[in-house]
Chains A and B, each alone.
Chain A
């Protein structure tokens, strides 16, 4: 059929043209949206299968069910740039997780430099980002599975940090972090063992004390990961010291002790 200048013909011509330039223009020709979660996944499974796999196996998908829209929004424009910014993460990761980062030197520099920062730059090792934001470390090189998760390759973590810090410095800091965490775990064990020895863990709030222990141990981890001395120490180790003192006190001087005495009287 010859191409004539009617509406149908123009539509067909544009359709062919679109198909011809699609591979060249790629992203730009994608309609602006909004897209549903299924639409994102269907298209990107074809275009970035590795990325979708990382997400499916990573903590966002497996642990919390967080999908594309949560970080990228449901429109295409600026969806990648926006997802690189810290505020996309802190909406959910609030409290100690973001506070420990925000008060760290990385967090401070990142915050002060955010106006100068060119967020279009990919999250790769080099000089595009003066200090790492959440995404720089946790989604390095667009890794959608959390590069910093404990089950991931520690070598990758060291590689990212050593973009700015000397390799020995990075190695030593990680090793010290592990030692700090081991110490926090000893405190957790000491407190846990004491609580297990109670005749009744309810009086004196011993079960609540165990929650405190795990919470403060988590603060130590966040303090180490985000390099926040305050979370390593005051919200972490020093708080754990206080927990242990109070657990002992509840056992030997509190209601638990009184119960023991009453029982022995019987």
Chain B
């Protein structure tokens, strides 16, 4: 009996210990799990909440759109005019608009939409209620053009830069939230390639032949950070295209043998695939990448295969190697400049320092820990307007000269490569001497016993600076 009770007491203690042990183990596992789950769901809830403002995207609560933004991002901001009342049939739309906007009706008449056996009339894309008209989004076009739409959407998995992510990446930047929205309509025009199809297939002809021409891309792909048009037209491919292109039959698909030289679309959207990022190797030249990872080796093979539509495979491989060399040389210069800037930051010589710059809504985090952002990974792409001159010098070296050299190298314009590298070398020299100047000036100030090198707040005032702070 006693034995039994001792045994049972022992057993119960053992059970109790096990229970305690289990509880401890459980709570050790459970508490962090609960914390993780709570944090993750709070994170999701925060992101969801932050997207619920008057703007769009992650910072939507910090901005409201300019009245024209609805034309560039119809899904988020377009509101139909309510002046004309009524439901209209196709013929009625045309009858009226032939008078009001004859240009678009004539354009539509020349389109495949109008000329097919079962014409696609205005109301198929815009609706028939004039007070609830729609501006067609890619989803709208995708109802019929499912293959192209699917390819276009699928591009998102290749990440940015890409067409399909262009709008959300634009509005999710700090500088978009910071600056006056009227000013930034110049940005969303090009970034609307994600939200409308007529960037390439201009309305209302929506001509595939037009989109195959290289000029179809240059409205956005030209100018300092992306001189694709300039560098292509200066290349051997581009020169021949300019000389003979207008005589070619542009109704042919973008496949081997159909064109004497490649256009933008022939290489970047080969076979008519509605993606530009699937072969993207150097990612716009914005950051250094390792071109020989296993994944990038596959991309290299894809490029070589494409070039060998016309050229010898070995030759194509050689061109890619030359591009690698050009990139390596560019990044050597860029990193040298970044080093100088980071040393200046370490010695507290960047003026205005991050904490002295005009505060913008998106700077609330920076006010806790002001820090100058240098280079791609610190987010300098967003810092080209509210910075010191030497940072802006680097921004231009990186964004304009480096990208110009990269585009030249990728498009086979050797003179452009040389010009880009000459400019980068000159910029590096300028950044070096500017850095020396800043260090000398500091000594002069110390000698003159001037403690504050910024009397008042000359960086935080001014006609535009004040307006910017109030109208973002």
Contact = CB atoms under 8 A, between A and B. Distances in A.
A229 B464 CA distance: 21
A145 B149 CA distance: 47
Nearest to B98: A127
Interface string A193-235: 1100000000000000000000000000001000011111111
Contacts of A172: 67-68, 71
A22 interface: no
A179 B458 contact: no
B464 A244 contact: yes
Contact of A103 (B71, B205, B210, B218): B218
Contacts of A261: 444-445, 448, 450
A77 B229 CA distance: 36
B389 A229 contact: no
A66 interface: no
A235 B183 contact: no
A165 interface: yes
Nearest to B458: A252
B463 A186 contact: yes
Given A103-B229, A245-B387, A234 B464 contact: no
B339 interface: no
B102 A163 contact: yes
Given A238-B384, A248-B459, A261-B445, A230 B222 contact: yes
B213 to A, nearest CB: 6
A245 B392 contact: yes
B81 interface: yes
B224 A234 contact: yes
B182 A179 contact: yes
Contacts of B202: 105, 109
A230 B105 CA distance: 29
Number of chain A interface residues as a range? 35 or more
A241 B103 contact: no
B224 A251 contact: no
B119 interface: no
A264 B451 CA distance: 13
A237 B445 CA distance: 34
B276 to A, nearest CB: 18
Central interface residue in A163, A229, A251, A265, by most chain B CB within 10 Å:
A229
Contact of A264 (B71, B222, B448): B448
Interface string B398-434: 0000000000000000000000000000000000000
Interface in B52-96: 66-68, 71, 81, 83
Interface stretch (B33-41, B185-193, B296-304, B312-320): B185-193
Given A180-B185, A253-B351, A111 B396 contact: no
A54 interface: no
A163 B103 contact: yes
A112 B213 contact: yes
B118 to A, nearest CB: 24
B387 A193 contact: no
B392 A242 contact: yes
Contacts of A51: none
Given A166-B101, A252-B454, A252-B458, A245 B385 contact: yes
A251 B389 CA distance: 11
Contact of A235 (B66, B81, B223, B390): B223
Contacts of B224: 234-235
Nearest to B185: A176
Contact of B441 (A190, A194, A242, A257): A257
A244 B462 contact: yes
Given A190-B464, A257-B441, A251 B183 contact: no
Contact of B71 (A169, A244, A249, A251): A169
A169 B362 CA distance: 31
B12 to A, nearest CB: 77
Interface string B345-358: 00000010000000
B398 to A, nearest CB: 13
A16 interface: no
Interface string A105-146: 100110110010000000001110010000000000000000
Interface of A: 103-105, 108-109, 111-112, 115, 125-127, 130, 162-169, 172-173, 175-176, 179-180, 183, 186-187, 189-190, 193-194, 223, 228-238, 241-242, 244-246, 248-249, 251-254, 257-258, 261, 264-265
Given A172-B71, A176-B185, 19 more contacts: A105-B202, A108-B216, A112-B216, A126-B102, A164-B102, A167-B100, A168-B81, A172-B68, A173-B71, A176-B66, A180-B183, A229-B186, A232-B186, A238-B385, A241-B384, A242-B396, A249-B390, A258-B444, A261-B444
Q: Which 5 pairs from chain A and chain B are nearest by CB?
A: A164-B103, A127-B106, A249-B389, A232-B186, A179-B182
